[in-house]
């Protein structure tokens, strides 16, 4: 006991007896991060988590002023941006952090895909990560409507029309999403509920599972490192890697503050359901590749409506992405399935980059 008091304070001992701090300390001591030439990519999962925590904090702050109705939403944000002290800052950080979080998440996803981190026994980690990506895109899509401005209104009209093109269940899904036949105040209220309650609750569960599995299996070593059978170098997670994580987070916070201060989130014009879509209308950047694909597809391909084929195509890519661990079951360097998985990842990156580039550079009126 004397020894313990010397090592830890009395508060530690008091808490340890009641909640078992020693267990956590043991866990933290045990956790290691493999060191190799791809270690850099390990930072992006934690980075996504950090940006998510910023989203939760700023999101709660925004709730204090936001009013979720078609008559008041736009005005409440106008008030927040112009009257509330630092209101512009909180909203800008929320908007920018959302973008950075999705970006960090994509890097995390593609590094896990290209380094084949999904392989046995981490299939469930991959699936829960896929679930988190879907939930995050849902956050982005529902949050985009909340300011109730022109861009948001049309982005939501198009976005909710996309499942609507599916045969049989399409119209029902569209009504379910919109809370009616058209995008109205009912849609806004529905999206608000999804954005601030349903999605956060779901993320909490799936994120909990994802983090638990990462602790359970430890970090994956890339195939090239694993088969090299050199001595497996590693770094203790706590405090060594964690401190490096913190440096990364500090950099992200600096970038975030700069972006929010120099490029504050815009509000635009209030949505008017009886005005034409504005020229140059665009979705968020992470939906741009899909948006541009739908723009370039002709009206009919082999007698089938172009947008239906496009939507089915996105669905198939999503299913293949989620199913990668089951398509590449016995990953190994040089194995066809493993190579195909990497080729699929590269193709997806190249395709998204080109289509996103076209989306931002093509003349919208031609």
Partner 1 sequence: MATNETSLPVDHGRRNFLNWFLGTSAGAFLVAVLYPVSRYLVPPEVEESTAHTVTLSVKTQELKANSGQIFRFGSQPAILIESPAGVVRAFSATCTHLGCIVQYRSDISQIWCACHNGHFDLNGKNIEGPPPKPLEEYVVNLRGDQIVVSKKG
Nearer CB in complex with partner 1: 255/362: 362
The least distance separating partner 1 from the CB of residue 284, rounded to whole angstroms, comes to 15
The least distance separating partner 1 from the CB of residue 348, rounded to whole angstroms, comes to 22
User: How far is it, in rounded angstroms, from Cα 27 to Cα 238?
Assistant: 10
Q: Which residues here bind partner 1, judged by CB under 8 A? A: 154, 157-158, 161-162, 164-165, 172, 175-176, 178-182, 186, 273-281, 291, 294-295, 297-300, 305-307, 364-366
Burial class (CB in 10 A: 0-12, 13-18, 19+), 171: middle
The least distance separating partner 1 from the CB of residue 135, rounded to whole angstroms, comes to 18
The least distance separating partner 1 from the CB of residue 306, rounded to whole angstroms, comes to 5
CB 286 within 8 A of CB 102: yes
Nearer CB in complex with partner 1: 22/278: 278
User: How far is it, in rounded angstroms, from Cα 294 to Cα 362?
Assistant: 14
User: How far is it, in rounded angstroms, from Cα 73 to Cα 300?
Assistant: 39
Nearer CB in complex with partner 1: 17/182: 182
User: How far is it, in rounded angstroms, from Cα 133 to Cα 112?
Assistant: 13
Nearer CB in complex with partner 1: 303/334: 303
Q: What are phi and psi of 37, to 5 degrees?
A: -70, -10
User: How far is it, in rounded angstroms, from Cα 283 to Cα 359?
Assistant: 10
The least distance separating partner 1 from the CB of residue 308, rounded to whole angstroms, comes to 9
User: How far is it, in rounded angstroms, from Cα 70 to Cα 129?
Assistant: 34
Nearer CB in complex with partner 1: 186/323: 186
């Amino acid at each position: 006991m004397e020894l313990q008091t010397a090592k830890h304070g009395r508060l530690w001992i008091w808490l340890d007896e009641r909640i078992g701090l020693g267990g956590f300390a043991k866990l933290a001591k045990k956790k290691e991060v493999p060191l190799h030439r791809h270690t850099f990519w390990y930072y992006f999962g934690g980075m996504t988590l950090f940006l998510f925590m910023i989203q939760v904090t700023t999101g709660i702050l925004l709730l204090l002023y936001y009013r979720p109705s078609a008559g008041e939403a736009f005005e409440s944000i106008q008030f927040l941006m112009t009257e509330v002290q630092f209101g512009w800052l909180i909203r800008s950080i929320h908007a920018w952090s959302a973008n950075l979080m999705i970006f960090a998440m994509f890097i995390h996803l593609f590094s896990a895909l290209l380094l084949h981190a999904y392989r046995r026994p981490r299939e469930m980690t991959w699936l829960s990560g896929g679930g988190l990506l879907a939930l995050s895109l849902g956050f982005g899509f529902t949050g985009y409507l909340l300011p109730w401005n022109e861009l948001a209104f049309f982005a939501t009209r198009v976005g909710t029309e996309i499942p609507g093109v599916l045969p049989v269940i399409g119209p029902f899904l569209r009504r379910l999403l919109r809370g009616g036949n058209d995008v109205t105040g009912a849609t806004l209220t529905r999206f608000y509920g999804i954005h601030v309650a349903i999605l956060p609750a779901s993320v909490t569960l799936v994120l909990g599972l994802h983090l638990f599995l990462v602790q359970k299996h430890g970090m994956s070593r890339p195939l090239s490192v694993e088969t090299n059978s050199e001595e497996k170098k590693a770094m203790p997670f706590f405090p060594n890697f964690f401190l490096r994580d913190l440096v990364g987070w500090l950099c992200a916070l600096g970038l975030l503050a700069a972006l929010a201060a120099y490029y504050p989130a815009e509000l635009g014009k209030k949505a008017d359901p009886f005005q034409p879509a504005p020229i140059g209308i665009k979705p968020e950047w992470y939906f741009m590749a899909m948006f541009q694909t739908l723009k370039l597809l002709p009206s009919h391909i082999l007698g089938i409506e172009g947008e239906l084929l496009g939507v089915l195509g996105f669905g198939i890519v999503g299913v293949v992405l989620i199913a990668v661990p089951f398509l590449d079951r016995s990953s190994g360097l040089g194995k066809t399935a493993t190579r195909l998985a990497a080729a699929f990842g590269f193709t997806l990156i190249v395709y998204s980059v080109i289509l996103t580039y076209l989306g931002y550079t093509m003349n919208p009126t031609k």
